[in-house]
Amino acid sequence: MKLAGKQLKYLRGLAHHLKPVVAVGIAGATPAVTLELDDALTAHELIKIRLPALERVQKQQLLDLLCLETGATLVQLIGRTGVLYRPAPTPRIQLA
């Protein structure tokens, strides 16, 4: 799902106060992490995840893989924290 700049800005604002709900270990995108991430996105639509201490390129590749496996969209990556968004069948977050 491709989001416009204003939509990304709105989602970043909503995610500011959130705490990470999924922590990805050094093993990376395991089936258990993918399942937990899928459950969290189904329940919340917008989540923060905690990544392991990797190089920026490796973190970006890991997030791209997780987004591909779960159908989510990467909203933001800052340090070791990523923000993902996937609308529910009946979205609670209304994007303009």
40-93 pLDDT per residue, tens: 999 999 999 999 999 999 999 999 999 999 999 999 999 999 999 999 888 888
Total number of domains in the chain: 1
pLDDT, one tens digit per residue, over 17-26 is 999 999 999 9
pLDDT band at 96 (very low <50, low <70, confident <90, very high): confident
Strands 46-50 and 20-23: parallel
Q: What pTM, to 2 d.p., does this model score?
A: 0.91
Phi, psi for 42 (deg, rounded to 5): -65, -40
Residue 92 lies in a domain: no
Residue 94 counted as domain residue: no
Q: In this structure, is residue 29 part of a structural domain?
A: yes
State the CATH number of the domain containing residue 29: 3.30.110.60
Domain encompassing residue 51: 5-85
